[in-house]
């Protein structure tokens, strides 16, 4: 498997589908929006983007199955799978905000081996393949080297349907406000992870996420020299619905802070 070639073909596909979404953003109306569950929205753009991605990815690596947000394609239970979020940040997209992304990962059955996050609004494509390093628009990227949590800028996602950890989460935020330079909530976990990978954010944490939200971004963070883990050490950060991503410089402080609450 020539991962670099597969990755670059995937980048090209992500940019093509992103261009389609950018054109559609100006014409989507409230009538186009469906509610899948509480605060989980979808439009024809998500569905069409996923259809285009699945079709293109089948041509790039036909042996892989699909784990996709809108259910297109079938998963491969004993081998490789594409993990696809056609539009991460749908609520932003539908409200005319620029922070949304195409997120594509390739999982070999044991681990993620390639990831692409195309942040459409900023026209920035982040990508990495196993052992190849991490890039944004063809430039190498690395995680932050800032050694102090007190000088760090963190990212998170606010709970929007799963509120069972709300009190603990608010207590964590309170402590973050007091011990860091601030916390940002972009509304796209894929973008948050990409920003950790390039050093804009020093760390990121969130719970109740799906594999298509985090698989690509988590791999890019690791290839950029960062680390990814779940709140619980034995849990899986891709499929376990909880994640912390960070540079090793603030690992001890950030992990202790998050896990002491969550």
Listed by start position, the domains of the chain span: 3-140, 149-259
d(CA 239, CA 192): 18
Homologous superfamily of 3-140 in CATH? Answer: Fructose-1,6-Bisphosphatase, subunit A, domain 1 (3.30.540.10)
For residue 39, what pLDDT is reported?
Answer: 47
Residue 83 token pair: 């993990």
Q: Which residues, at least 6 apart from 93, have a Cβ–Cβ distance to it below 8 Å?
A: 21, 25, 28, 43, 45, 87, 100
Residue 202 marked in a binding site: no
Domains 3-140 and 149-259 share a fold: no
Of 12-26, 55-69, 82-96, 156-170, give the lowest mean pLDDT range: 156-170
Residue 162 marked in a binding site: no
Average pLDDT of the segment spanning 130-147: 98
Residue 87 marked in a binding site: yes
CATH of domain 149-259: 3.40.190.80
Of 74-78, 157-161, 256-260, give the lowest mean pLDDT range: 157-161
For residue 32, what pLDDT is reported?
Answer: 72
Residue 85 marked in a binding site: yes
Average pLDDT of the segment spanning 212-219: 98
pLDDT higher than threshold 60 for residue 252: yes
Residue 192 marked in a binding site: no
């Amino acid at each position: 498997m020539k991962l670099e070639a597969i990755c670059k073909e995937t980048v090209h596909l992500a940019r093509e589908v992103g261009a389609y979404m950018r054109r559609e953003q100006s014409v989507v109306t409230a009538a186009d929006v469906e509610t899948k569950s509480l605060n989980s929205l979808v439009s024809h753009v998500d569905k069409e983007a996923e259809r285009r991605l699945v079709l293109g990815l089948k041509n790039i690596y036909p042996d892989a199955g699909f784990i996709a947000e809108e259910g297109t394609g079938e998963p491969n239970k004993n081998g490789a799978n594409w993990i696809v979020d056609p539009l991460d940040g749908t609520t932003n997209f539908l409200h005319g905000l620029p922070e949304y992304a195409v997120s594509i990962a390739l999982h070999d059955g044991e681990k993620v081996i390639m990831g692409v996050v195309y942040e459409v609004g900023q026209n920035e494509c982040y990508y990495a393949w196993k052992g190849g390093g991490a890039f944004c628009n063809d430039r190498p990227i690395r995680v932050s080297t800032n050694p102090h949590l007190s000088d760090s800028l963190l990212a998170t996602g606010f709970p929007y349907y799963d509120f069972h950890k709300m009190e603990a989460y608010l207590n964590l935020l309170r402590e973050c406000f007091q011990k860091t330079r601030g916390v940002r909530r972009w509304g796209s976990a894929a973008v948050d992870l990409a920003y950790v990978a390039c050093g804009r954010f020093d760390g990121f944490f969130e719970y109740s996420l799906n594999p298509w939200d985090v698989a690509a971004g988590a791999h890019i963070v690791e290839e950029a020299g960062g680390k990814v883990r779940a709140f619980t050490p034995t849990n899986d950060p891709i499929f376990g619905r909880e994640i912390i991503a960070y540079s090793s410089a603030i690992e001890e402080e950030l992990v202790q802070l998050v896990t002491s609450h969550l």
